[in-house]
Amino acid sequence: MKNKLPKLTVIVLSIVFIACSSKKETAASIAQEWCNLNEKVYKASDGAEKDAAKMVRKKFENSIEEKYKDNKEFMDEVGKEVEKCEDASEGR
Interval 28-74: pLDDT, tens: 999 999 999 999 999 988 888 999 999 999 999 999 999 999 999 99
Query: Positive or negative, the Cα torsion across 26, 31, 34, 40?
Result: negative
Q: Which domain holds residue 39?
A: 27-89
Confidence of residue 23 (pLDDT cuts 50, 70, 90): low
Nearest 5°: the CA angle 68, 74, 78 is 95
Does 20 reside within a domain?
A: no
pLDDT of residue 45: 83
Does 62 reside within a domain?
A: yes
Does 43 reside within a domain?
A: yes
Does 39 reside within a domain?
A: yes
Does 11 reside within a domain?
A: no
**Nearest Cα to Cα of residue 44 among 35, 34, 54:** 54
Q: Is the pTM of this model over 0.75?
A: no
Measured in residues, the chain has a length of: 92
Does 65 reside within a domain?
A: yes
Q: How many domains does the chain have?
A: 1
- Other residues' Cβ atoms within 10 Å of the Cβ of residue 66: 8
C-alpha to C-alpha distance for 33 and 48, rounded to whole angstroms = 21
**Poorest-pLDDT segment among 12-21, 42-51, 70-79:** 12-21
